[in-house]
């Protein structure tokens, strides 16, 4: 069993006995108010934990959904996840629940998609609200994925700048997630399911809003 300790908390793999603690915290309004999912039934909470336990047994392991434990009581009070999305490019995705209404400013470390490299978006409150209202999600894509998306679009006769290629790179990333390892985070799973369903009907619209000459 994977165990990570800090002075205040303990992170470990889930066990089948954790489902009651999961149901207790996931049923609180503060836990799901900004999520795309409603409170689970006891049966759904048990099924979720069973799925996470099964996922942890996969080899090679590409998903780590860990229980956040309060040491004084041993109670599971939350969950955090780390998913390896691409072994070749050594990329991963870290997720956790925060429920913030305004985006926390970050350090801009540079990217080819400079048009969306905004460390502190002025309208982040509206952006986050729109994502929650539409049951959407936020994903990241690598610089390699952006370059590949731009090349693929160019081969189709669509010459776009790197910033515009990010949307197509995100679409491709979601498709790969749906075809690859099982999703364990409810909101991401719902979003991926919706995208795959739309793609099967040929009804996905991808905005390509920047001509390639801007980056020439």
> What average pLDDT does the structure give for the chain?
79
**Burial of 30 from C-beta contacts in 10 A (0-12 / 13-18 / 19+):** exposed
- What is the strand order of the sheet 91-96 is part of? 3-5, 10-13, 63-70, 75-86, 91-96
**CATH code, domain with 78:** 3.40.630.30
On whether both 80 and 128 belong to a single domain, the answer is no
Residue 100, pLDDT score: 60
Percent of the chain topping pLDDT 70 = 77
Q: At 110, list the tokens.
A: 């540079």
The residue among 70, 99, 128 that closes a domain is 99
Task: Tell me, yes or no, whether 185 and 89 share the same domain.
Answer: no
155 and 203 part of one domain: yes
In terms of domains, do 139 and 193 share one? yes
Same-domain pairing of 10 and 34: yes
Domains: count for the chain: 2
Sign of CA dihedral 36, 46, 72, 65: negative
Is pLDDT above 70 for 190? Answer: no
Question: How confident is the model over 112-134, as a mean pLDDT?
Answer: 81
Per-residue pLDDT tens over the stretch 50-105: 988 998 898 888 788 899 998 889 999 888 888 776 666 566 656 655 556 777 77
Q: Domain holding 143: CATH number?
A: 3.40.50.1100
Tens of pLDDT, residues 138-167 = 788 889 999 999 999 999 999 999 999 999
Q: What is d(CA 61, CA 164) in angstroms, rounded to the nearest whole number?
A: 33
Q: Are 137 and 70 in a shared domain? A: no
Cα–Cα distance list, 37 to 66, 99, 127, 144, 195 (Å): 19, 13, 19, 32, 16
Of the two residues 195 and 72, the one the predictor is more confident about is: 72
- Are 160 and 199 within one domain? yes
Note down the domain range covering 52.
1-99
């Amino acid at each position: 069993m994977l165990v990570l300790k800090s002075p205040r908390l303990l992170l470990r793999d889930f066990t089948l006995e954790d489902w009651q603690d999961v149901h207790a915290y996931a049923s609180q309004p503060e836990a799901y108010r900004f999520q795309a999912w409603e409170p689970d039934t006891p049966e759904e909470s048990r099924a979720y934990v069973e799925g996470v336990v099964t996922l942890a047994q996969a080899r090679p392991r590409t998903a780590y959904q860990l229980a956040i434990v309060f040491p004084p009581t041993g109670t599971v009070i939350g969950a955090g996840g780390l998913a390896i999305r691409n072994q070749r490019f050594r990329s991963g995705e870290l997720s956790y629940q925060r429920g913030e209404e305004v985006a926390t400013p970050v350090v801009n470390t540079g990217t080819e998609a400079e048009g969306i490299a905004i460390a502190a978006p002025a309208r982040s409150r509206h952006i986050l609200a729109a994502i929650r209202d539409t049951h959407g999600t936020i994903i990241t894509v690598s610089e390699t994925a952006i370059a590949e998306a731009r090349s693929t679009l160019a081969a189709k006769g669509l010459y776009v700048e790197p910033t515009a290629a990010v949307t197509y790179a995100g679409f491709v990333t979601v498709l790969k997630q749906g075809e690859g390892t099982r999703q364990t985070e409810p909101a991401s799973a719902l979003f991926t399911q919706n995208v795959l369903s739309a793609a099967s009907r040929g009804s996905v619209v991808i905005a390509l809003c920047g001509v390639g000459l801007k980056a020439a």
